[in-house]
Amino acid sequence: MTLSEAYQQHVLPTYGRFPLVAVRGEGCRLWDEAGRCYLDFCTGIAVCSLGHCHPRLVEAIREQAGTLIHVSNLYQIPQQAALAREINEHHVQLPGKVFFSNSGAEANDGLIKAARRFGHRHPQADGTARYEVITFRQSFHGRTLGAMAATGQAKIQEGFDPLLPGFRYLPFNDVSALAAAVRPETAAVLLEPIQGEGGVNVATPEFLHAIAALCQAHDLLLFFDEVQTGFGRCGETMAWRSIAPAIEPDGISWAKGMGGGVPIGAFWLSDRAIDGTGCPLSSLLGAGSHGSTYGGNPLVCAASLAVLHEIRSHDLAANARHQEARIRDIISSWQLPVITEVRGRGLLLGVALDPARIAAPEGKTPALVIVTRLMEAGLLVPPAGPDTLRLLPPLNVTDREVDEALALLHGVLATY
Ligand SMILES: *Cc1c(COP(=O)(O)O)cnc(C)c1O
């Protein structure tokens, strides 16, 4: 049985997969079964932040796997406490507390649960709980029932209704739509500071400040989904700091790049007082209120700790800014008519394409046409929406690797 036959017979067909079979990775490169080498600017969709098989990460996983892989959250886990401390002190840099999940969607579900607890504690005027979370069009928050309902894209929700109630989607970057949006039942606002899957759309500083002011005025929680953008990816510790650094969110969710490839997610709640008695927001999820069997086990926490140490000690956020500037300079020097815009921050960059110049067969977007041609040329990138390419190299990518990838990109795009 061939691999694609095994897929057809045994794996649910939820993904349209490319025929590529990667068998080995090192740094920025992947090799397929035939020994062909690819430059990987997809990195498992912003997951392998140190590239493939970084020696520090491999060693941390090896050592922990040989010592203790898993114990229950019924017991204390030193690697989990150390990781939470690393996150609080060096990455969030605001007083708060962390819960470890296994994915980004689960992390967002945790934030949604926190919003509901908050809405019980701070109810509407008539005493009924608040529960609604405002999110935005073109957002992506994940595939669980909660995160899918939070996601402002009909194609993600198609055929899965009735959805979890309590979400309303506003236009992204539209300050004027915010003012009238709050209802008595509204409890929180959740957004990606830079929408990743939705096309690499950067929130404006005015928009983030307007949301923060709205939350303040109406006693709403402000949550950032930093699942794709956090931990150096966008050139700062967190993406919101690359846009509006003075804002202090109430909650943050993460996954993807924090584990460098091991499945780990997390959410954070602020220690700020939510009433006159000094009760901190982070106390609303007390013992028995939330849990995860695997969440924050010794293996994934040791791995994530190695990743976050490496990002911090080598200031990989600074490399993300450095490479962003180079990529923008080089691409704009090409003056190619097919490229309409470069959006994003750091090493989450969207190269917007002019769809009118790209003939796409039925059922294939212009971005997918280009992604396929780039793969044939030896460069892996994912799309973001129908006509944007996403560049997501590892945070430690070198000048030479960027130059090589851009030469491949130019080779393909210059023909349109
Ligand atoms: C990928 C992503 C998610 C979902 O993460 P999973 O680990 O796939 O559940 C949520 N939010 C954003 C912004 C993402 O990019």
- Distance CA(301)–CA(295), nearest Å, equals 9
**Domain count along the chain:** 2
- Check whether residue 363 and residue 404 sit in a common domain: yes
Which residue is closest in CA terms to ligand 1's atom 11? 141
Structural domain harbouring 171: 58-313
- Segment 153-178 shows an average pLDDT of 97
Q: How many angstroms separate the alpha carbon of residue 226 from the centre of ligand 1?
A: 9
Instruction: Tell me: do 66 and 36 sit in the same domain.
Output: no
Note whether 140 and 183 are same-domain residues: yes
Q: Give the number of residues written for the chain.
A: 416
Q: How far is the CA of 416 from the centre of ligand 1 (A)?
A: 32
Centroid of ligand 1 to alpha carbon of 150 (angstroms): 12
Q: Which atom of ligand 1 is nearest to the CA of 228?
A: 15
pLDDT band at residue 205, thresholds of 50, 70 and 90? very high
Q: Which atom number of ligand 1 is nearest to the Cα of residue 147?
A: 10
Average of pLDDT values for 40-46? 98
The mean per-residue pLDDT over the stretch 159-167 comes to: 98
The band of 349, judged by pLDDT with boundaries at 50, 70 and 90, is very high
Give bridge partners of residue 351 from the DSSP assignment: 342, 389
> Mapping DSSP to helix (H, G, I), strand (E, B) and coil, where does residue 162 land?
coil
Burial of 389: CB neighbours in 10 Å, binned 0-12, 13-18, 19+: buried
Question: Ligand 1 in contact with 227 (CB < 6 A)?
Answer: yes
CA of 334 to the centre of ligand 1 (A): 33
Beta strands in 192-327 (DSSP E): 194-195, 201-202, 221-225, 251-254, 265-270
CA 113 – CA 148 distance, rounded (Å): 14
Q: What are phi and psi of 310, to 5 degrees?
A: -65, -45
Atom of ligand 1 nearest to the CA of 226: 13
Measure the CA dihedral 244/245/251/254, to 10°: 90
Q: Which of 256, 300, 345 to mutate to test the pocket of ligand 1 (most atoms within 8 A of CB)?
A: 256
Q: From CA 296, how far away is CA 299, in angstroms rounded?
A: 8
Label residue 338 by pLDDT band (50, 70, 90).
Answer: very high
Whether residue 180 is found in the same domain as residue 309: yes
Is residue 123 a contact partner of residue 219, using CB atoms and an 8 Å limit? no
Residue to mutate, 151, 200, 226, 227, ligand 1, most ligand atoms under 8 Å from C-beta: 227
What is the spatial distance between Cα 406 and Cα 400, in angstroms, rounded to a whole number?
10
**245 and 283 share one domain:** yes
| Total-model pTM | 0.98
Higher pLDDT, 326 or 179: 326
Average pLDDT over residues 267-286: 96
> Do residues 12 and 112 both lie within one domain?
no
100-123 mean pLDDT: 98
Q: How far is the CA of 134 from the centre of ligand 1 (A)?
A: 18
Distance from residue 138's CA to the centre of ligand 1 (Å): 13
Of the chain, the percentage scoring pLDDT greater than 70 comes to 100
User: 391 and 251, same structural domain?
Assistant: no
Interatomic CA distance for residues 110 and 291, integer angstroms: 9
In this structure, which residue's CA is closest to atom 10 in ligand 1?
141
Question: How would residue 179 be classed by pLDDT, with cut points 50, 70 and 90?
Answer: confident
State in Å: Cα 332 to ligand 1 middle.
30
Average pLDDT score over residue span 184-190: 98
318: Cβ contacts below 8 Å, ≥ 6 apart: 235
Nearest-atom index, ligand 1, CA of 263? 7
238-254 pLDDT, tens digit each: 999 999 999 999 999 99
- Asked if residue 382 has its Cβ within 6 Å of ligand 1, the reply is no
197 CB within 6 A, ligand 1: yes
Going by their DSSP bridges, the two strands 22-26 and 201-202 should be labelled as unpaired
- Average pLDDT rounded to a whole number, residues 335-348: 98
Tell me the sheet residues that pair with 24: 31
| Domain final residue pick, 288, 313, 338 | 313
Q: Which of 313, 344, 369 is the last residue of a domain?
A: 313
pLDDT band at 173 (very low <50, low <70, confident <90, very high): very high
pLDDT of amino acid 365: 96
Q: How far is CA 208 from CA 108, 212, 242, 329, in A?
A: 19, 6, 11, 27
Among the three residues 313, 328, 343, which one is the final residue of a domain in this structure?
Answer: 313
User: DSSP secondary-structure letter at 355?
Assistant: G
Residues 6+ apart with CB under 8 A from 209: 244, 247
362 with 273, same domain: the answer is no
Specify whether the backbone of 238 is left (phi greater than 0), alpha (psi in -120 to 50) or beta.
Answer: beta
Regarding whether 223 and 350 lie in a shared domain, the answer is no
Report the alpha-carbon distance of residue 92 to residue 405 in Å, rounded: 32
* Residue 181 shares a structural domain with residue 225: yes
CATH number at residue 347: 3.90.1150.10
From the alpha carbon of 105, which atom of ligand 1 is closest? 9
Region 35-41: mean pLDDT is 98
Q: From residue 218, how far is each of 117, 211, 222, 252, 273 by CA, in Å? A: 16, 11, 11, 20, 16
Strand ranges of the sheet holding 96-101, from the earlier edge strand across to the other edge: 96-101, 265-270, 251-254, 221-225, 186-191, 132-136, 167-170
**Measured from the CA of 144, which atom of ligand 1 is nearest?**
9
Cα-to-centroid distance, 231 and ligand 1 (Å)? 14
Are 165 and 210 found together in one domain?
Answer: yes
In the predicted structure, residue 206 carries a pLDDT above the cut 90? yes
Q: Are 53 and 307 in contact (CB under 8 A)?
A: no
Ligand 1 lined by 140 (C-beta under 6 Å): yes
- Distance (Å) from CA 97 to ligand 1 centroid: 21
Q: What is the mean pLDDT of the chain?
A: 98
Asked if 126 and 237 sit in the same domain, the reply is: yes
**Where residue 83 sits, what CATH number does that domain have?**
3.40.640.10
- Cα 103 to ligand 1 centroid, rounded to whole Å: 7
Q: What is the pLDDT of residue 267?
A: 99
Verify whether ligand 1 is closer than 6 Å to residue 109 (CB atom). Answer: no
CA of 207 to the centre of ligand 1 (A): 22
Contacts of 62 (CB under 8 A, 6+ apart): none
